[in-house]
Amino acid sequence: MAKRGRSVERSATYTASPNIALVKYWGMRDVALGLPWNSSLSVTLAGIATTTTVRFVPGQTLDTLVLNHRPATGPPLEAVRRFLDRVRGAAELREGADVASFNNFPTASGLASSASGFAALAGAASAAAGLRPSPRDLSRLARFGSGSATRSIFGGFVEWRAGVRVDGKDSYARPLFAEEHWPELVDLVCLLRNAPEKAVRSAEAMQGSVATSPRFAARQAAVPSRLRRMVRAIRDRDAGALFPLVMEECDDFRAVCETTIPSLDYLTPVSRAVLAEVRAANDERGATIAAYTHDAGAHVHVFTLREHAPMLQRRLRRIAGVDQVRSLRPGSGGHMVRGPAR
């Protein structure tokens, strides 16, 4: 990264959207460097986002964090502080920072708020510090806050390459297909009423899976081929090929979580009712017209094509405990809202 010039101002605002992983990463081969065991594939989502402002304050020694209009302390503040220390080291800064971050969607419940949050923090903090990272370097930086944040730097369909180097320089995200590539694709996001927040952070939970799940090794063997087949299906805009793979991957991921010691069960009965409704809709049509997936949380994403979306949306809304069903499309990558300023 290029270092800042002395005339560069100290405040910037950046926005980034969460992504939903079609192929999950779950487990780090190097926790300190944020390096995953396997490559992953995701879709950046339009319509939901995190907007973050970072202001480095001359003479200030501590960092502050306001998250969704409330002062944050404890682990969230410590994670932000560690991330800012990395930016300060690159920019040769000593000042503390005031950070304000807002999500327009639920936090810590499986909608990848950490992905959009740390992608937005990476963009805002780098600009405020006077750094000028390339998109690839910004992707590398974002992973130190949250692995999935590396993908939210880019829009559309994104691959995070796991890499093989011990220094992690070959581990970064890259865009594969733009958000306009598949205009018929729709993500129906089922937001559950009273969805619980995660009791254990994903960063800790996944390492438990690496150490204890008997399904982890088999999943690692299956992921590369599954990812390649998904990329081909997306390239060809072939829903009939993609949707079964998405559910296969989700079920595989969930099996690893549930066989972890202690077991990781992120779904609620309402979540499972959504999965069952998708299976029923496919059975009734005699074809796979929709696919479910979820991350480490209770909310469920249902991918389908535009022609089937209204029918599925009606069915999903009728499930008791589903608060709303939002229809989202592939969206753009992170971008500056307000550049460096005093």
Q: Mean pLDDT, to the nearest integer, of 276-289?
A: 98
Q: Is there a contact between 292 and 275 (Cβ–Cβ < 8 Å)?
A: yes
Report how far residue 133's alpha carbon sits from residue 341's, in angstroms, rounded to the nearest whole number: 18
Write down the pTM of the prediction.
0.93
Q: Mean pLDDT, to the nearest integer, of 218-222?
A: 97
pLDDT the model gives residue 339: 73
pLDDT class of 341 with cuts at 50, 70, 90: low
Burial of 135 (0-12, 13-18, 19+ CB in 10 A): middle
Q: Mean pLDDT, to the nearest integer, of 192-202?
A: 83
pLDDT the model gives residue 4: 46
Q: Mean pLDDT, to the nearest integer, of 298-312?
A: 97
Report how far residue 222's alpha carbon sits from residue 256's, in angstroms, rounded to the nearest whole number: 13
- Count the Cβ atoms, other than its own, within 10 Å of residue 315: 18
Report how far residue 100's alpha carbon sits from residue 121's, in angstroms, rounded to the nearest whole number: 9
Q: What is the mean pLDDT of the chain?
A: 94
The size of the chain, in residues, is: 342
pLDDT class of 338 with cuts at 50, 70, 90: confident
Q: Which amino acid is at 287?
A: A
Walk me through the domains of the chain, giving residue ranges and CATH numbers.
11-178 (3.30.230.10), 185-328 (3.30.70.890)
pLDDT class of 5 with cuts at 50, 70, 90: very low
Q: Is the dihedral of CA 288, 305, 139, 120 positive or negative?
A: negative
Per-residue burial over 200-218, b if 16 or more Cβ lie within 10 Å, else e, is: eebeebbebbbeebebbee
Q: Mean pLDDT, to the nearest integer, of 102-125?
A: 83
Give the pLDDT confidence of 200-210 residue by residue, as tens digits: 888 899 999 99
Query: Residue 94: which of 62, 52, 138 has the closest Cα?
Result: 62
